[in-house]
């Protein structure tokens, strides 16, 4: 397995693969418009990266840096390639290419009753196996409750909110504002 990474834009080769996996892996209510993702990825500190293994598209990651915090907004592996170690390799790539950064991500709260509860538990187990820990922070976006995980140090809700404001900009900040669940 020799994973290669490439920053992508709207006009990059393989962007259709990225869009297809994005739509297949993430629930519709968790998907930002692709034009928005590409537009924001032009900003310094935001990376939209596709991963390839010997010419085979594997998956992608979308990350946001703010101070010493790197937020993994999206990470997806082509469903045909699940359980082959690619997700862990992508996380390794992200961490190795951002030394000194704390990593953070949100995932659907596995403790909430949902049709995909088993999948949520597997996803959390995957991230825990890869060194992430729960911050104890839960947020709500629409009807979905998320749990905030971190690695290489914790992430507070104020740091997370500042990162999202930094990412979204003034115009969209009210739409990407984390709401704390008590």
Q: Rounded to an integer, what distance in angstroms lies between the CA atom of residue 72 and that of residue 95?
A: 10
Structure confidence at residue 22 (pLDDT): 96
CA dihedral 114, 18, 178, 123 (to 10 degrees): 40
| CA end-to-end span of the chain | 43
> Stretch 18-42: mean pLDDT, rounded?
92
What secondary structure letter does DSSP report for 12? S
Q: Coil, strand or helix: which one is 135?
A: strand
Indicate the pLDDT class of residue 113, thresholds 50, 70 and 90.
low
* Per-residue model confidence as pLDDT tens digits over 131-159: 999 999 998 887 888 999 999 999 998 99
* Per-residue model confidence as pLDDT tens digits over 86-97: 999 999 999 999
Indicate the pLDDT class of residue 125, thresholds 50, 70 and 90.
very high
Domains of the chain and CATH, by start? 3-180 (3.40.630.30)
Burial of 172: CB neighbours in 10 Å, binned 0-12, 13-18, 19+: middle
- Residue from 73, 55, 41, 99 nearest 163 by CA: 73
Global pTM?
Answer: 0.91
């Amino acid at each position: 397995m020799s994973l290669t990474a490439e920053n992508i834009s709207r006009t990059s080769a393989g962007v259709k693969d990225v869009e297809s996996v994005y739509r297949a892996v993430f629930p519709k209510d968790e998907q930002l418009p692709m034009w928005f993702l590409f537009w924001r990825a032009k900003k310094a500190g935001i990376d939209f990266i596709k991963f390839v293994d010997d010419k085979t598209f594997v998956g992608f990651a979308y990350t946001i840096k703010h101070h010493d915090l790197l937020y993994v907004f999206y990470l997806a592996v082509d469903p045909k390639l699940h359980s082959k170690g690619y997700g862990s390799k992508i996380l390794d790539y992200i961490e190795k290419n951002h030394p000194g950064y704390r990593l953070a991500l949100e995932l659907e709260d596995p403790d909430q009753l949902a049709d995909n509860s088993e999948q949520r538990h597997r996803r959390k187990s995957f991230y825990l196996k890869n060194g992430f820990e729960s911050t104890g922070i839960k947020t709500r976006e629409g009807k979905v409750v998320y749990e905030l995980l971190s690695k290489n140090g914790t992430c507070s809700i104020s740091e997370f909110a500042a990162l999202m404001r930094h990412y979204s900009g003034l115009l969209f900040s009210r739409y990407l504002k984390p709401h704390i669940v008590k």
